[in-house]
Structure 1
Amino acid sequence: MEWIQPSLLWGLLGIAVPILIHLWNGKRGKVIAWAATAWLNPKEAQSSRSIRLEQRLLLLLRVLLWMAIVSLLAGLFWRGLESTKTAQIVHLVFPQEQLSSEFRFELEQASQKGETVFWLTEDLPAYAEGRIPEPKFEPKKLQNYFDQIDRKVDSIHIYAQGTQLEFTQAAYWLPKFPQFHLAEIEVSPSDDYVFDLDSTEFLGFDKEGVLRKMNGEIQSKRKLKSIIPFYFYPMESEKMANLKAALKAIEEVYGLTFAERDSIAATFLFSENLRPIASNKFLFITGNQFNTLNDQSFTLSYSGTLTWEELLKKGILPERILDPMIRHLAGAQQELKISKNQLSEKFYRIPQNQQAKLANTHELLLVLIVILLGLERFLSFRKNL
């Protein structure tokens, strides 16, 4: 049992009002003897006892009525009532014909089970096979689409192709951690951009769009140098050391080479704040600012969602640097495939204390208030109190 607005429980102090009124009305008067007192019917004394009993019952009803009203305003959440409800499962489908066709069976099964299926776009329209809704999906508004989901949902399923163009932001927030269903689609072009590592190895994208080390002859239309110049604007020494360690990890895993240059010669710049840069450069923002992702900048950490401390604790700084870096070098429109593990790192569950919990006892309390009010009015009119 929880209270949504516990501060309103101070209203229970109002119970003292009907109690004080009852005590005031029940004050004994001064007994005055008169000549005919001895001739009074003794049953009159007995009826006075029943009157006092009804007055006490009326007092109890008024106290209970006041408690019910305060409970209604404070919002009572009873967990026992939630356990009897049917699980609410939501399926979110990116508005693409390929997904509708590939996951047709799964989506039909979900609909038959009474589960909710939406197109993942503005206003979350109901899913209908082969009917792509309008307006079209906009990646920059993806978090806005997620915000329209009921906070009391029990399970979320997301159907997508699994490319970086679909999930452009660094982090997304949902009431529950989602289950991903990614289409088996070959992303192209897969060999237009490669990095020369040595005479036998090169770094490029496979047919699924995943960045890998590969061997063999390079038949790419365009070769990119494996030496990547970077520059650090003035920042905290500890943060700079963390960034250098992340670049070193990328070198060890992927075989790329980073070289520190001045701000003019460097392609990638690291700064704690957003600043103007040339059109051929890319800026990584290290300060805890509002998330930004475009063709020329990317926020590594930002307050309220993924702070710098959480970034280091989870050990995902190298990957967060590499993804937008490859996007910039390979071309902003390259549809890079991302795995389920990479995708899951972008999603976070909204903390329980930030979810708007709704009281689930309103109906019961309203019925109780009506019953108590009816009984209280009946006794009041009967005794003219």
Structure 2
Amino acid sequence: MELLNPLMLWGGLAIAIPIIIHFWHQKKGKVLAWAATQWLLEKNLQQSRGLRLDNILLLLLRCLLLLLLCFLLSKPVFDWSDAPSSSQKIHLVQPNKLIIDNYKFELQDALKKGEKIYWIQPVLTLAEDLGHVPQTDNFNPLFLQSCLNKLAQTIDKEDIALYLINSQNLAQVPKIFVPSAFNLLTIVDTSKNNLKPYLAFGNKKLFVNAANQLALQSESPNNNTYTGSPANNAPIEVLILNQNNAEKQTILASLKALEEVYKITLTADTEINKHKKYNWVFSDKPLSSKSEYDSESTLNIISNTDNIPANQLRYQKNTIQIPYGLNPQTSAAIFNGEFPEWLAETLIKHYDLNPVPTVLSNQQLQSIFTKSGAVKSHQENELARILLFAFIIILSIERYIAITKNA
């Protein structure tokens, strides 16, 4: 059994209300004037001690009504087809030769048993020849979910075996719902070198090391950790368009500190040079959509945006908007000397020097893949109707007893 809204069960604590009301009414006695009371002997008078449970059936019915209502609102779901599943499986395979080679024995054994094997494609395709792997571009979890949704319309009680490449692409969606019990078989594609990005300055490389720190090292023939094309292989060109001289000096000093600490090469201009393509642009005014210093890789840092009219601000790619001015009076980062550190973090993020891991852990995979509702929607509606009918019957009995006994 599964509860779709389990928090409603806390409403079961409300059964204390009819119990309290029941005993509260019993404590209240009615004074009746009776002239013959004086003839009663004191020895015949008996005191009632303890609590009397009058109308106990009515009390139980009211408590049962509250519990049944809470249970109904929690939306219980039962798996009516709880029979043991058959030994047959359905295999859903991502079209990839690496998967076929790694799980060749399991897939060939499935073909011998007559089990169905499907390729994960926009159109669910039955795999009859494992030697012919179809080409699928831009595999994503939406394709996988679409195949699982189509499979849910034909599946009976078979388990599902999922064969996938373990990659960060699977985390593009929060959940992937599998319509039956499933077994997840993944493999890491080590054929592609997970190259670490870096910035090149002459014969030196700036990168994020294993300690998650920005570091600079000289290039050596034995160092193959950082290979491929660098994110930037020239001095970082900076343009400062801030009109406030104090802000200009603050930015220049911070860039100088960044250059001295990490031994990188930065060139800063306070006027536009039409022969340059700038990597960073600082400004305290909105930038035009097309400018001689702008490019797709340019990082724009616009400060003091609180004083810029909203109709002049617009979303721009690679743009950071700072609401305050870059001076010690308005910025705590400037006042505490943390602006160079912020610039270093911005540099790492802009050039993607510390990318997210490309492989998911087993815990992450288990959190993404989950079994969908155990029953069909008509079964869930049938259960709700049964509970509602029982609630009405019990309510009718409770009202009948309450009216006849005037309780």
State the TM-score, normalized to the length of structure 2: 0.38
- Relative contact order higher in (CA < 8 Å, ≥ 6 apart): 1
